[in-house]
Chains A and B, each alone.
Chain A
Amino acid sequence: MTLDTVTGSAPVQATRTDLLDVQNLRVDFTSRAGRTQVVRDVSFTLAPGEVLCILGESGSGKSVTLRALMRLLPQGRSEITGQVSFQGEDVLAMPRRALNGLRGARISMIFQEPMTALDPVFTIGDQIAETVIRHTGVSRDKAMARALELLELVRIPSPERRLRAYPHELSGGLRQRAMIAVSLSCYPQLLLADEPTTALDATVQIQVLILLKQLQQDLGMGTIFVTHDLGVAAQIADKIAVMYAGRIVEYGSAEEVLLNPSHPYARGMLASTVSGQARDRDISAIPGSPPDLRALPPGCAFAPRCAFATDLCRRTEPGLTPRGTFGHVLCHHAQDLASPALVGATVTAT
């Protein structure tokens, strides 16, 4: 069996037009109890106007990865290594001051719970205007006019009135739109979104997703979208990176990953997602639960839950196997598993 496997640190092909190029990103959390690797060997690239979804369950390291890109992790308790280059600039080596100029201006971020991200004592208008003034230095009147424009952009009804509203006076969907407006205040080139629609109701979630997709296309923003929801990823992603136990186990175009996943975890996740399964049969679930990052198994982190695991998997960590035009799979048996016969025999696609 000759696997065309390259080592774990193989660079993902980067082109000159990339907006963001992340190579071997690694995040360690340090505490008195010791050091925990939370994110390892994460590499991906993002072109302008492209949407990457980082898909994973709780504890997979997806949110930490996102925060590491903006160095938003608590200093002293975390250590970020590797290379994050945004428009050719090295974010990890950047001095604090330059970083602050980047944050909120060229890179901005939206969160799951707008109530905690928006300041409760300022009106929506004030918060947008403040960001605009800080980054562009325009007058207050101009900044307020800009705020109004932004509320119209995110389609908040009767924006003049909402400009003077406090966050708690808005419904969940409007609040999330307001946060998107704040994040767009300086027309960022890169938008980082951490589960921005998870807390929303279904009928509101779809509105916000459609809005985000439209804004992202109109403004040509590169977007990284962290989610645990396959449906959200399918709705918005161009590329998908599936994370498990701190590593990207599968990376590829949305179609490749969602319609023809190679990694056993990605497949299992797809198969265990409830969506129109036969009602009189069990759902094919992945057994067990994700590993404790402080005590990872020696080989592949997924091996203890994997139906295809061999001794090799339990002994040595797999390297990256290329797949598609740019993607990769982190599995010893990626090529064997790619054969259709095996797929049909083990995982019934839904």
Chain B
Amino acid sequence: MSEMTTNHAIAAQIPGEDVPRGERRSYWANVRERLGHDPVTLFFMGVIGAAVGAALLAPWVAPHDPYATSMLARLRPVGTEGHLLGTDELGRDMLSRLIWGARTSLLMGILPVLVALVIGGFLGVIAGFMGGAVNMVVMRIMDVFYAFPSVLLAVAISGTLGGGMGSGLLALTLVFIPSLCRVAETAASQIRGLDFVDAARASGAPVYSIIVTHVVGNVLPPVLIYASSLISVSILLAAGLSFLGLGVSPPTADWGQMLSSLRQGIYMQPLVCALPGLAILIVSLSFNLVSDGLRQAMDIKS
């Protein structure tokens, strides 16, 4: 076709357009590159990475046994010899408990959101893409869950199931499904009406192929961004459940649980008592800022 020079093949003869862009780069490669230019997001990703790393490596990283009590060394201040971050009301090492607590807190923060992302996202994409009666049924069921405030719902579910970590996880998952479903549904129903989906249908593509190739890819960014902001909510809700005694049962280290049991010591060692709260704050904030950075990196026009 190279002899077709005049008039037809000239779409390329534009200044600045002669940059070869022949090889394909996946959308995610572009997202990675844009993230690479965003130091703030990278820093907070590092914070999250450190927290997750510490949680995973708790047995090796933690300086003390998080359950070893000492009636002599109770409520020591931050900076105490041998107890870098002090000790709690039973004399347990705070640093070790925070590191071990990260295990449960991060698990409670991330797992419910992940599971809800898969279930809610799936339901939302189906409801949004199919429309009609399917949409009606799915979304009305979600509306029932929506009718309750999320804290109340989480408390009610885990209370009914009898507390404990398992029921806490289940409660949080159920709380997050409707909102993730709603976000996925909105995105999918917008995409359903676009010409490129019609073009895919016109090429004879079956529904599942259209959903996998064209819908999921475009629904994922908004849903992922929303989900990453939910992780901080989940950590806080989990902390709240523990605080109420519905989450993790006492000896286990958990930031919410620690916050709850330390409140008696607040007048003696305010800083030590605030530490679990500080940890929750830092991790939640990091997830929020990373989700913000992700939103910018996933914007195709940036």
Contacts and interface: CB of A to CB of B under 8 A. Distances in A.
A152 to B, nearest CB: 41
Nearest to A301: B15
Given A282-B7, A285-B7, A291 B13 contact: no
B13 to A, nearest CB: 5
Contacts of B16: 291-292, 295
A295 B14 contact: no
Contacts of A291: 14-16
B14 A304 contact: yes
A288 B7 contact: no
B11 interface: yes
Interface string B1-22: 0000011001101111000000
A289 B11 CA distance: 7
A287 interface: yes
Interface in A295-311: 295, 297, 304-305
Interface residues of B, number: 8
B13 A287 contact: yes
A285 B11 CA distance: 12
Contact of A304 (B6, B11, B15): B15
B10 A287 contact: yes
Interface string B62-78: 00000000000000000
B21 to A, nearest CB: 15
Interface in B181-235: none
A289 B14 contact: yes
Secondary structure of the B contact surface, majority rule:
loop
B13 A304 contact: yes
B137 to A, nearest CB: 32
B38 to A, nearest CB: 13
Contacts of A292: 15-16
Interface size class of A (residues with CB under 8 A): 10 to 19
B5 to A, nearest CB: 10
A282 B14 CA distance: 21
B14 to A, nearest CB: 5
A287 B11 CA distance: 7
Nearest to B6: A287
Interface in A94-126: none
Nearest to B5: A287
A291 B7 CA distance: 17
Contacts of B7: 282, 285, 287
Contacts of A297: 15
Contacts of B10: 287-288
A295 B15 CA distance: 8
A120 B128 CA distance: 28
Nearest to B10: A287
Contacts of B13: 287-288, 304-305
Contacts of B11: 288-289
A301 to B, nearest CB: 9
Contacts of A304: 13-15
B132 to A, nearest CB: 26
Nearest to B302: A33
A240 to B, nearest CB: 26
Interface string A267-284: 000000000000000100
Contacts of A288: 10-11, 13-14
Contacts of A295: 15-16
A297 B15 CA distance: 7
Nearest to A287: B10
A40 to B, nearest CB: 17
Nearest to B16: A295
Nearest to A33: B302
A297 B13 CA distance: 13
A304 B14 CA distance: 7
A311 to B, nearest CB: 16
A103 B7 CA distance: 46
A30 to B, nearest CB: 17
A256 B179 CA distance: 63
A122 B278 CA distance: 51
A294 B147 CA distance: 50
Contacts of B14: 288-289, 291, 304-305
6 contacts: A282-B7, A288-B10, A289-B11, A291-B15, A291-B16, A292-B16
What 5 A-B pairs have minimum CB-CB distances, sorted nearest first? A287-B10, A288-B14, A295-B16, A297-B15, A288-B13
Given A289-B11, A291-B14, A291-B15, 16 more contacts: A282-B7, A285-B7, A287-B6, A287-B7, A287-B10, A288-B11, A288-B14, A289-B14, A291-B16, A292-B15, A295-B15, A295-B16, A297-B15, A304-B13, A304-B14, A305-B14
